[in-house]
Amino acid sequence: HLHPARSSSSSARSCARSSSSSYAAVASPSQSSESSSALTLPLPDDFHMHLRDGAEVLNSIVPQAAATFRRAVVMPNLVPPVTNIERAKEYNSRIRSALPANANFQPRMGLYLTDATTPDDVAEAASYDGDDVVLHGYKYYPAGATTNSDAGVQNLLAPENASTLRALEDANFPLMLHGEVT
């Protein structure tokens, strides 16, 4: 995660959050030249964000996420898991309901890969375009390896998963891997 650094007279550069939803890096006087001495970066993306669920949790976490990041890939390991477009739309709606007014934050929804995910599910998700919901890819969790992973894949390389993995590849739809084994 990118966090604004505190400015100090001894640092070569300082970073500060500006009111325009970006970070600014400013060269110290010793680094200044006749060229511009400021670099403004847009808010970063977070490609692995757990927002969890429930109004109280979302109302606490989502405003902080929106203040720090422009976009985030939201992990789908809820109970029940976000396994299809309909659940992603519902979760996205709950997230957006927790956003502050005028927030410019885009949740990119991850879908939960299970042993029951089919090539047709992948094709439908990869081609989905609507309702202000961005589907980012499928998240693989080894069954039982982490929080809310009981519905995860038993054996990713099992022959019965080959057609689903091929569908992900053919659709150029990301497979996001949870790097833990059981």
Of 149, 90, 78, 86, nearest to 115 (Cα)? 149
* Residue 27, both tokens: 């060269």
pTM of the model: 0.79
Mean pLDDT of the 67-95 span: 97
Map 18-59 to HEC letters: ECCCEEEEEECHHHCCCCCCEEEEECCEEEEECCCCCHHHHH
Give the pLDDT confidence of 82-106 residue by residue, as tens digits: 999 999 999 999 999 999 999 999 9
Task: Please tell me the distance from the alpha carbon of residue 35 to that of residue 137, in angstroms, as a whole number.
Answer: 42
Give the pLDDT confidence of 35-65 residue by residue, as tens digits: 668 888 789 999 999 999 999 999 999 999 9
Sort strands 175-177 and 134-140 into parallel, antiparallel or unpaired: parallel
Confidence at residue 120, expressed as pLDDT on a 0 to 100 scale:
98
